[in-house]
Structure 1
Amino acid sequence: MKRKREVIIGFVGVILCVILLGGFSLTITTMEEQTFAETVFPILQEDVSKDYVSESFVAVKALAVWFGVTLLIVLSLTLPATICIWRNRYPKWAAFLYLAAGATTLIGTQMLAFPLAFFFFIAGSLCLFRKITKSEGANYVSNKSRKSNIARI
């Protein structure tokens, strides 16, 4: 495998998405409204009165579900991208899938997770623009001798 950089950068993006988006989604969706009112609402309450706790809870819960759906879509895009880039088979398809995962991260989190999307954009760009010579491939066999013709004489 000669595309280790792309795979590692893609995995870093996936791991951070699972930790941040999945963690937020799991924490908020399992939370009850009373716990939300005691712990999260005071942090979010800047110009909102106490009368809007239930509306805020519904909005944050909807955001958490949206983050969870975004995470599932990102995972379903990065797994095929990693398979496509494995052994440098289909780098253009992998680039498309990584860039789609980055766009999904941006749109699905309403531009909140742009640092996470940045990892996918880097991996996709490397898949497109980084060239691997044929001599570096796993199945490359040279027909030429290591010595020059002058050295053989």
Structure 2
Amino acid sequence: MKRKWEVIIGIAGVMLCVIFLGGFSLTITSMEESTYQTTVFPILQEGVSKEYVSESFEAVKALAIWFGVALLIVVIFVALAILSIWRNKYPKRGAVLFIIAGLATLFGTQFIAFPIAFLFFTTAGLCLLRKIKDKEGVENVSNKNYKSDFTRI
């Protein structure tokens, strides 16, 4: 594996997405309205009357579902990107897939998770700009002694 840093940063971004987006999505979608009214609503809706609890709950639940869909899209694109850059085969394709994962993170969270998206954009930049030299090929050319080949003939 030649692109170790790209893989590490990409996996770190996915893990942060799973923790934050998946955690929010799982918590809110499994919550009942009465629990929401006593725990989350007072924090999020300070100064709003209690008659809007059900509307607020539906809006937060829709946001949680949106986060879950965005998480699924991000995981798929990052997995494809990591497979593309594995053994330094297709770094440009991997960069495009990381950019799509970053955009999905941005738009899927309505620009809330921009630090996580920044990790994907950084990884895409590394895929495009970082050049990895093949150490075996460089050593073979530099260690080859051309005079010894001609003296044997």
Same fold (TM over 0.5): yes
Cα deviation digits, residues 39-81 of structure 1 (max 9, x gap): 0001012231111000000000000000000000001100010
TM-score, normalised via structure 2 length: 0.91
Aligned to 1:132: 132
The alignment partner of 1:116 has SS state of helix
RMSD after superposition: 2.1
Give the number of aligned pairs.
Answer: 150
Q: Which runs of 5+ in 1 are unaligned?
A: none
The alignment partner of 1:144 has SS state of helix
Cα deviation digits, residues 85-129 of structure 1 (max 9, x gap): 000000000000001000010001000000110110111110001
Aligned to 2:22: 22
Q: Distance in 1 between matches of 2:133 and 2:117?
A: 29
Aligned to 1:59: 59
Q: Distance in 1 between matches of 2:108 and 2:84?
A: 24
Q: Distance in 1 between matches of 2:9 and 2:17?
A: 12
Give the counterpart letter for 1:130 in structure 2.
R
Aligned to 2:114: 114
TM-score, normalised via structure 1 length: 0.91
Shift of the alpha carbon at 1:8?
0.1
Fraction of identical pairs, as percent: 64
Q: Give the helix-richer structure, 1 or 2.
A: 2
Aligned to 2:70: 70
Moved over 3 A (4+): 140-145, 147-150
Q: Distance in 1 between matches of 2:21 and 2:105?
A: 10
Shift of the alpha carbon at 1:149?
6.5
Give the counterpart letter for 1:3 in structure 2.
R
Aligned to 2:141: 144
